[in-house]
Amino acid sequence: MIEYIYGELSELSPTLAVIEAGGVGYAINIALTTFTQLTGKERTSTAAGQPCRLYCTEIIREDTHELYGFPTKGERALFEMMMTVSGIGGNTARLIMSAYSAADIRQIIATGNVKALSSIKGFGPKTAQRLIVDLKDKVLKIDLGVEAATNLFDEPAAADSEVKTEAVSALTMLGFAAAASSKAVDKVLTQNPQATVEAVIRQALKLL
């Protein structure tokens, strides 16, 4: 089992980080909130040469071998706990963690806020209720620690066109159609041209 991977962050997008360690490049699935913490600047994907450590969860099945990475053990624990609920796999758990911070998710589940979970596209009331029932008495036991951004990078914000490209790419990798994703992103940027990649994706998730 891989506990964490530490190395040089060679590639970064809102849904994927590639870390080179010991001459091997590890493709690690990440949530939008992890992308934000890695960059410290939500609107850039520049990452070459920066050191990075992600705590990992491996999902191994007959047809796939996936890695999911998190900046803290607490966030990883929350992700793994959500996957114990029937009907919630790695991509669905990542989608939830892209829509809300780990602290918000813990609070949403603990208070039984079905409406907040149901606002996530493709995550209906029944699944939300099942998640809450299964985890309500467990989730507060997770120690999320101090959720401070890693702030690895300090570069100028990207142009709006790059924000759109990053946002659409992230949404399609999360399983949404490219055309619908592009339309939703355009609508968000029309209403708020200065929105960050994270803000655009979170608003678009509510429109898809």
pLDDT single digits (tens) 51-91:
889 999 999 888 888 999 999 999 999 999 999 999 899 99
The pLDDT, as a whole number, for residue 175 is 81
| pLDDT value, residue 192 | 82
Residue 96: its pLDDT value, please? Answer: 93
Quote the CA–CA distance of 150 and 6 in Å, as a whole number.
14
Structural domains in the chain, CATH included, are 4-70 (2.40.50.140), 73-141 (1.10.150.20), 160-207 (1.10.8.10)
* Cα–Cα distance measured from residue 132 to residue 112, given in angstroms and rounded to the nearest whole number: 6
**Could you say which residues of the chain have pLDDT below 70?**
40-48, 145-161
> What are the DSSP E strand ranges found in the chain?
4-12, 16-21, 24-29, 50-61, 64-70
Q: What is residue 47's predicted lDDT score, i.e. its pLDDT?
A: 53
Beta-carbon contacts of residue 99 (< 8 Å; ≥ 6 apart): 32, 119, 120, 202, 205
Give pLDDT, residue 171: 87
Residue located via tokens 């339309």: 183
Q: Are 133 and 82 in contact (CB under 8 A)?
A: no
Residues contacting residue 125 through CB under 8 Å, at least 6 positions apart: 114, 118
Say what the pLDDT of residue 43 is.
Answer: 41
Q: So what's the pLDDT on residue 143?
A: 84
pLDDT at 40: 62
